[in-house]
């Protein structure tokens, strides 16, 4: 559902967002009622180097985090395929080794079916 909180990031991000909103509203209120703060904030807004530095920093952080998450995604895909290959090898080896068993054929067939069913659950 759309308004589900279980497993959502909304509860964990609400506190920092609320803190930022309170700080922003406080600065706006103080800037409207304080000439010194209003002059200081207006000088910052006229200076483009602050925006340029912030934009470069945010761009670098976004690219870095994107590359990191992209690498982790492909690492996870690789590990999943490795695990599938190991399960396939395990099943193949157990079936191959059971061919030379000296047990009765019914027990060997039951063993093979059980192994295949258990490994297919993985």
- The one-digit pLDDT tens for each residue of the chain (122 residues) are 667 777 788 888 889 999 999 999 998 888 888 888 888 777 776 777 777 888 999 999 999 999 999 999 999 999 999 999 999 999 999 999 999 999 999 999 999 999 999 999 88
Assign residue 104 a region (left: φ > 0; alpha: ψ between -120 and 50; beta: otherwise): beta
pLDDT value, residue 39:
82
pLDDT value, residue 1:
60
pTM summary value: 0.53
DSSP state of 91: H
In terms of Cβ atoms closer than 10 Å to its own Cβ (0-12, 13-18, 19+), residue 112 is middle
Neighbours of 111 (CB within 10 A): 15
pLDDT value, residue 52:
86
């Amino acid at each position: 559902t759309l308004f589900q909180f279980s497993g959502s990031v909304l509860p964990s991000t609400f506190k920092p967002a609320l803190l930022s909103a309170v700080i922003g509203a406080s600065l706006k209120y103080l800037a409207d009622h304080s000439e010194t703060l209003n002059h200081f904030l207006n000088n910052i807004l006229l200076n483009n180097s602050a925006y340029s530095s912030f934009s470069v920093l945010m761009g670098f952080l976004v690219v870095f985090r994107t590359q990191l998450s992209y690498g982790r995604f492909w690492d996870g895909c690789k590990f999943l395929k490795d695990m599938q290959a190991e399960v396939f090898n395990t099943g193949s080896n157990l079936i191959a080794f059971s061919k030379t068993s000296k047990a009765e054929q019914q027990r060997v067939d039951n063993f093979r079916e059980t192994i295949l069913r258990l490994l297919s659950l993985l």
